[in-house]
Amino acid sequence: MISIPPYLKKGDIIGIVCPAGYMSMERITTCISTLEDWGYRVQKGKTLESNSGNYFAGEDRERLEDLQTMLDDQNIRAILCGRGGYGTGRIIDQLDFTGFQKYPKWVIGFSDITVLHSHINSNYNIATLHGPMAGAFNNGGALDESVLSLRNALEGRKTRYTCPPHAFNHTGCATGELVGGNLSILAHLTGTASDIATKDRILFLEDVGEYLYNIDRMLFQLKRSGKLEGLSGLIIGGFTDVKDTVVPYGKSLNEIIHAVIKDFSYPVCFGFPVSHGTENYALKTGVSYNLNIEATGVLLEEQGYSPSCS
């Protein structure tokens, strides 16, 4: 049975940390001021001002201690990861989730933060929030529908999203817990203590900056490890900044994905607004959703918003 952390109310504290890549304070200030405008208090982690001099937001030990402090602090009601990048997988096995299990809170982020979503969901059955991070608030993004969807989710509003039809969609209706995130991360988590469980669930996938052949390889990794078998439904989000090799791979992104999953009978949606782009709507991972794919369009809604799929 999935445990859903308490939803936030005005005056609650949101902690901001960088468990992976470095992010300058200048790029986080708009996020902080917006969260305060929403009525929350913000607690800044040490990793917001720490830089090991290279790619990471501090050494592994620093990032581990900062995130651990946020997980253990009962006054913090949500943890917003400043950015993804790479590095969460380097510290995940050293994190202690004992206090977090007793007092769950929303863990928010995407991309490399998929490590946390998968690990928490698979090991502790606690819901998390796949959604925009600090950078999304910049350049007017604080008023974007995707960022506002984060606020709605944190305040406990039922999420409900639509997207247009797609030629490769498999029509049908699916019900199940929603899990997923970044394809690269999920493929690399296979066989680890953070491996995702997908059977009878709705799986969503997105990625950025990958070569076409590598997307094919990672999808086959999921298929060979059984992650694409027995799904309730599949959601294909945005794959931004896709690259090709000097010798062209010979298939488009959607053709690659369709070829891997075409023999499965469950409903499949292409082009869903979850991605590294501006369309990245907040999704509660581990929470039950209804996915309805028709010739006229797609509807994904959190259970309790309307009657379940029949």
- Report pLDDT digits (tens) over 190-209: 999 999 999 999 999 999 99
Q: What is the pLDDT of residue 182?
A: 98
| Known catalytic membership, residue 276 | yes
Distance (Å, whole) CA 296 – CA 285: 26
- Across all residues in the chain, what is the average pLDDT? 95
| Known catalytic membership, residue 111 | yes
Q: What is the pLDDT of residue 52?
A: 57
Q: Which helix (H) or strand (E) holds 99?
A: helix 98-102
Q: Which helix (H) or strand (E) holds 233?
A: strand 233-240
Determine what percent of the chain is predicted with pLDDT higher than 70.
Answer: 97
Asked whether the domain spanning 160-302 has the same topology as the one spanning 13-154, the reply is no
Distance (Å, whole) CA 207 – CA 242: 9
Catalytic residue among 111, 149, 232, 288: 111
Distance (Å, whole) CA 220 – CA 227: 10
Catalytic residue among 62, 206, 279, 302: 206
pTM confidence score: 0.96
Ranking 25-39, 40-54, 59-73 by mean pLDDT, the lowest is 40-54
Catalytic residue among 119, 130, 170, 276: 276
Distance (Å, whole) CA 78 – CA 256: 37
Q: Which of 260, 281, 262 is nearest to 152 (CA)?
A: 281
The string of DSSP codes covering 149-212 is HHHHHHTTPPPEEEE---TT-B-EEEEEEEEEEEHHHHHHHTTSTTPPP-TTSEEEEEEES-BH
Q: Name the residue ranges covered by the structural domains of the chain.
A: 13-154, 160-302
Q: Which stretches of 25-183 are assigned E, i.e. beta strand?
A: 41-44, 76-81, 106-109, 128-130, 160-163, 172-182
Determine what percent of the chain is predicted with pLDDT higher than 90.
Answer: 94
- Class of the domain covering 160-302: alpha beta
**Residues 265-295 pLDDT 10s:** 999 999 999 999 999 999 999 999 999 999 9
| Known catalytic membership, residue 229 | no
Distance (Å, whole) CA 113 – CA 259: 28
Beta bridge partners of 181: 205
pLDDT range class, residue 1, cuts 50, 70, 90: confident
**Residues 201-232 pLDDT 10s:** 999 999 999 999 999 999 999 999 999 999 99
Asked whether the beta carbons of 66 and 19 are under 8 A apart, the reply is yes
Question: Which CATH fold topology does 13-154 show?
Answer: Rossmann fold (3.40.50)
Q: What is the pLDDT of residue 304?
A: 78
